[in-house]
Structure 1
Amino acid sequence: MNEPMLEVQGLKKHFKIRKDQTLKAVDVVSFTVNKGEMFGLVGESGCGKSTLGRTILRLYEQTEGSIKFKGQDVHKASSKTKRKLDQSMQMIFQDPYASLNPRSTVMDIVAEGIDIHGLYSGVKRKEKVYQLLKTVGLNKEHANRYPHEFSGGQRQRIGIARALAVEPEFIVADEPISALDVSIQAQVVNLLRKLQLEQGLTFLFIAHDLSMVRHISDRIGVMYLGKLVELTTSEKLYKKPLHPYTEALLSAIPIPDPDLEDKREPILLSGEIPSPISPPSGCVFRTRCPRVMERCTLIEPEISEYEPGHFAACHLYDEIGDSRKEAAASKVT
């Protein structure tokens, strides 16, 4: 049985722009991440996925909704509990250049969390850092160097070592490969997968590269304009996407076979992404959807389970969703 580690329910994160303007970065998002799972979160730039990850870790205060880590509400916890949560929940940042202090050595960067939580000191502190560097594919000679002496891939490995230093259970990886060369991306992804399997870590892996997310994730959530529009296993999402937005994203993934690539017809979305300051009425995707209907303009679709373990927010499947709800209700009665 899957044991939920992270439970996000009805989460909103809105930013006040002016007195009469609010940017709805994350708007009523709900999902669960199970213990030991690699949960992928994908979507275009600006869809709110990074804001969601930062809100989960309390880098932003939520506007509404709840975030529970192992049953504990992370935003309502006491100061003592929040300190423990800070140790249990860590983050790997997107930019390995900006996320490391250029004036600190690798030893002090990796050991920062160790010092804050008082985990090790003296020789044990040094040995712990050496062990962490070895874990991420570096060596102890790197400990006395500064960030500018490393490549982008090596800097990201340092960021991963820093996240692992306090022995967390849950890690938010916020687009950890987007700033890296293609040749290095696979190495970092394989390292994260290896850490997940060997150390039993749970990941929220945020990215916009669907082909890479498919390789690493157990389940995938698709976001559009602050909302979760589809959620299912990696296998189901790629074999049978339900939401038109997911179909368009998948059609943009290049096929390595040149003959098949020439015959393929990608789904081209017309129009621009609406502003999260003034989202469309009804379905937020309706202004770009090739299968839009009248009800899409009037009614916002709820994310519902249309197949076992496959959720989507789309009016195309309303009849299926209604029949599943009626069947579930009949079982209860």
Structure 2
Amino acid sequence: MDNPGLFLTILAFIAAIGPLVFVHEMGHYLAGRWFGIKAEAFSIGFGNEVAGWTDRRGTRWKLGWLPLGGYVRFAGDMNPASVPTPEWLALPAAERAATFQAKPVWQRAIVVAAGPVVNFVLAALILAGFAWTYGVRTAPPVVGQVVTGSAAAASGLRSGDRVLAIGGRAMEDFADIAQYAMLRPGERTEVAIERAGRPATIGLTIGTAVERDRFGNEYRLGRLGIGSPPTEYRPVSLPAALVQGTTQVGAIVRGSIDALGQIVTGRRSVDELGGPLRIAKVSGEQMSLGWPAFIGLIALVSINLGFINLLPVPMLDGGHLFFYAIEAVRRRPVTPAVQEWAFRGGLAALLALMLFVTFNDLGQFGLWRGLAGLIG
């Protein structure tokens, strides 16, 4: 079993998370600059300042000792709920005009959304770079061969069947079939096919496979048990590569939504939720496999960072956007008391989630099994 080592794991984690947090917060910062909002601080990391400087605009750029996130603090954004305070109301008119709270709701919404959007854009550019460099893998959604004893064989799928849809979702490429099945081990679904020019529908239970990689990580994956038809990598132009990168980001986001829905409904175990420790472990593993694998991981983490931040949870960007949407409809903001309680609840929920995923991560590393063995 390969092990990248502690030093490489820490280095890879910092190399992956640091730039992504910087890009995310830079999205907020640049959007704020565009609307004339003064930024008081731009921090990578939390906690006490390790190093920093103040630019000519009065923005303090700094590094915190805990490299697990970052933030931009705009003038007038004086509390988690971005509620105006007496200190803000007492500012001179010229200074107040350059604060976050002085801007109309649509501008504040753009500033908040800019962070996740930049994460998606960065991932799309990385994936577009791969498509332009290596070409695009293409194969029609046609059954090449059927593995004996597989879920496909049990359902009656045959070589040459064209898969039109699974579970009501259209299949445009063979990769769509593989991705759909991979996220749904053991699920019952219907497959719409075309056989000898005639449409048909087949009931199927997606098979389950447990795979182990070279680092000892186990994955429970869905498998249909069908082979791909002849596959080719075709070169694409730069514009086509950009389209491909954007399409792949959309597919990954859709997969994240599917996985989240499965966890909420109990079809997927909450044990699969991971936190910073697991990200660090995977970062080290992917860096040990080479730069293409590591850069691909950065794209994936960037997409997930953008996706998670858009969830309508107070304290996240999506929570702010949710309140801005209410403000736009009501023509007035939600009362400060409601926002304060919502953001306190959001903070408590996020802290509880961090503890839970850290507990999961330690279990993934075998800590609890080891302790149980010592106690036993």
Q: Return the TM-score normalized by structure 1.
A: 0.28
Whose helix proportion is higher, 1 or 2? 2
Output the TM-score relative to the length of structure 2.
Answer: 0.26
